[in-house]
Structure 1
Amino acid sequence: MLQSCCAGICAFLLCPTLHASTVFRCEDASGHITYTLQGCPVAADQQLQSADNPTPGQGKAVPLAKTRKGEGKRSKKDKKSEDLLVVGEKQDGCGNRVTGSERRSAMIRQQARSGMTQRDVESSLGKPDKITSQDGQTRYHYEDNEGNRRQVTFDESGCVKGKH
């Protein structure tokens, strides 16, 4: 009895988990609805939506929603007014001051540019030889084989500080 119970628990723990994504449903004052992964603007009403796409079992289609009789048959005029627009941009936590192409170019050239994240700098320059922190600022210290030293300073948000 105890062995079968333990086997059942082990089987439960080893089962793969199903992953669903949560998206934000944003509705502005004029009733315009957008869906995004990054959150809604301050003035918009925000609701969380679960986006789940289950794997069909045994080759049978799994209906995602049931429609009522008469629903789903819309004229072109009705459809145009309900077009769905999904707007979103990935936020890097540093105000997106460095574009994707600028970030890639800096990493190829092994540079640290203002607005890059700590993760970007580590991808570009590698793990630092030494890390120091003082007054909310973090500094990465690098030294190459010839004794040349380099220091990268981050603000309290983990973004490379620019020269002022």
Structure 2
Amino acid sequence: MNKMPSPLGLGSDYRIYLIGAPGSGKSFLAERLSHALHIAWHDLDGEDIDSLPLLERITYRKALQQQKGWICEAVSQSIGRDWIQAADITIVLTTPRIVRIWRVLFRALLKTLGRQFKGQWGKETWASLRFRLGMTWRYDKTILYPFLEEIQRLGLPVVVFADNQAAYAAVLERLTQPLD
């Protein structure tokens, strides 16, 4: 495998897992880290992967998880446990709900105007917008808090941030240290 060093002088073997609601800033953070570290970025529950038959989706995710050097993001807590164990660093974004809703609406507007986003191909529909807004609205109570309680109970290492800038700085700081 041909590895390109990042501008920071870091290798590309780091595995970074990002979890958060729609609009929390996962894609923004993943894209910035991918660019800075020269590590491939994958949206684990994006429309491109979700459109695969279930067995192909599972196979794809398992193969990806075994690779060295990835940045993966997901909303779904059901994807998370194995990925947390495989990651060198896991970030949970707890962006305030009002910010997430604004971002989902703004992204829908940009998609309506023809802008494409990784993992969300095609035109925005009322159904997809309604789904993202609903998921964003109920995420904290029905997904995030139970998931964080489970992670704590299992003793899995995660770092929680309410803003992307702090998460970005923390990841870069952490990755300047040697891998365990």
Kindly name which structure, 1 or 2, has the bigger radius of gyration based on alpha carbons. 1
Instruction: Kindly indicate which of the two structures has a greater share of residues assigned to strand.
Output: 1
TM-score normalised over the length of structure 2? 0.17
TM-score normalised over the length of structure 1? 0.19
